[in-house]
Amino acid sequence: INAALLHALDYSTRTHRQQEIFEAHQQTFKWIFNHQLGEGQGHFTSSREARPWSNFVEWLRGEGNSTRVYWVNGKAGSGKSTLMQFIANHEETERHLRHWAGDADLQGLSFYFWNSGTGLQHSRRGFLRSLLFSTLMKRPELTKKLFSAEWREMAKKEKRYGVINQSEWDIPLRRLEQVFNHLITLATDDFRLCLFIDGLDEAKDGPEEIVDLINIAAGSPFVKICLSSRPWLVFEEAFANLSSLRLQDLTYQDIQLYVREKLQRDPKMERLEGVNPEGAKSLVKNIVAKANGVFLWVRIATKSLLDGLRNWDDISDLQLRLDELPSDLTALYSHMLDRIEPFYFSQASKIFRILDAAS
């Protein structure tokens, strides 16, 4: 019966989104675990409009003025999904959460909405099935308690027919919501949950319904929720007064590290730095400034500059190449398509869809 219920919750694309997310570049995002930063300090940004941000370590540990929800927000392409995956899988996260949970059983659950994926990858139904599946894989003894009605029905069929037909069980959305709410009530001083939910803006069946589910879960003192989205009004209204950060304010040094490492790995760039060190330094600075906190933009721009190096561009040529690139991500896609031979349009279109999904 337990296996049949797990089968009803699982689906083939459940973990596909995680596999598509760019891995954090070496040394990037480590600032998130710096206990000394946050709470009003606009670190790692060149912008004067940087907002205060909430100390993430304090939030994990349940210290200070932290709330039960932590909202990572940022513009498209700023690296929210990469940061969320970095956080959800990092040993420092578990270490600091353990301070909050004490000796309790601590379950960390994650889901990544993806508007370019299948229906279950961008819906509440897929979200709930994934979280419940992950929970019951770790705590199988909860299955009978959470799905008591289904358990009784399956037990009757097993007794009558001697077998359970796994494929006939399709749990309705309403029932999944009831079970999720029941799971939240089971969180106690001895059983704590931390949810990592990425891409609320990519849910296609209404952000308001997702916000309602989060608010229900956040009503428990034994549940923490770290979530990410673009700063849409519906999320601003729901989460603006909670612990949060605006990602593009905090990635200046991360982007600088990425650009330097990618360019300096090229022997031709190393040669140009020897000839014109100030020009090379200025080029990196201009790339980072033009990126304006958008990691996806800088990935594409750096690729263009590396193409220039392969064509033996000098620093001034590279700067001209950079100046030609639109700072807006959508305009950048159009600019690159204009430079592609018609024969390669189909292939380029697939690549840009992947990049857009990654943003």
Which CATH number covers residue 81?
3.40.50
Q: Are residues 201 and 160 in the same domain?
A: yes
Q: Are residues 35 and 104 in the same domain?
A: yes
Final residue in a domain of this structure, among 249, 265, 287: 249
Q: Give percent above pLDDT 90 in the chain.
A: 56
Q: Are residues 266 and 177 in the same domain?
A: no
Taking all residues of the chain, what is their mean pLDDT, rounded to a whole number? 85
Could you tell me how far CA 168 lies from the centroid of its own chain? 33
pLDDT value of residue 90: 95
pLDDT value of residue 315: 93
Q: Please name which of 207, 11, 222, 21 lies closest in space to residue 126, comparing C-alpha atoms.
A: 11
Element (H, E) at 196: strand 191-198
Q: Are residues 92 and 187 in the same domain?
A: yes
Task: Report the alpha-carbon distance of residue 294 to residue 78 in Å, rounded.
Answer: 4
pLDDT value of residue 47: 47
What burial class does residue 334 get, using C-beta atoms within 10 Å of its C-beta: 0-12 exposed, 13-18 middle, 19+ buried? exposed
For the stretch 137-162, pLDDT in tens is 999 999 999 999 888 887 887 677 66
Contact 248, 49 (CB under 8 A): no
What is the residue range of 330's domain?
252-358
Contact 25, 261 (CB under 8 A): yes
Q: Are residues 104 and 234 in the same domain?
A: yes
In this structure, how many other beta carbons lie within 10 angstroms of the beta carbon of residue 161? 9
For the stretch 25-84, pLDDT in tens is 777 899 999 876 554 444 444 444 555 789 999 999 999 888 999 999 999 889 999 999
Q: Find all residues with CB under 8 Å of 61, minimum gap 6, and list them.
A: 96, 97, 99, 100
Q: Are residues 103 and 208 in the same domain?
A: yes
Residue 18 pLDDT level (bands cut at 50, 70, 90) = confident
Sign of CA dihedral 181, 186, 187, 189: positive
Final residue in a domain of this structure, among 188, 219, 249: 249
For the stretch 179-203, pLDDT in tens is 999 999 999 999 999 999 999 999 9
Q: Are residues 292 and 232 in the same domain?
A: no
Task: Name the pTM for this structure.
Answer: 0.84
Q: Are residues 136 and 180 in the same domain?
A: yes
Is the pLDDT confidence value at 346 over 60? no
Q: Are residues 144 and 277 in the same domain?
A: no
Q: Are residues 328 and 223 in the same domain?
A: no
Final residue in a domain of this structure, among 226, 249, 272: 249
Task: Report the alpha-carbon distance of residue 245 to residue 59 in Å, rounded.
Answer: 12
β-pairing, 191-198 with 243-246?
unpaired
- Domains in the chain: how many in total? 2
- Helix count (H) and strand count (E) of the chain? 18, 5
Q: Are residues 221 and 271 in the same domain?
A: no
Q: Are residues 222 and 289 in the same domain?
A: no
Strand partners, 122: none
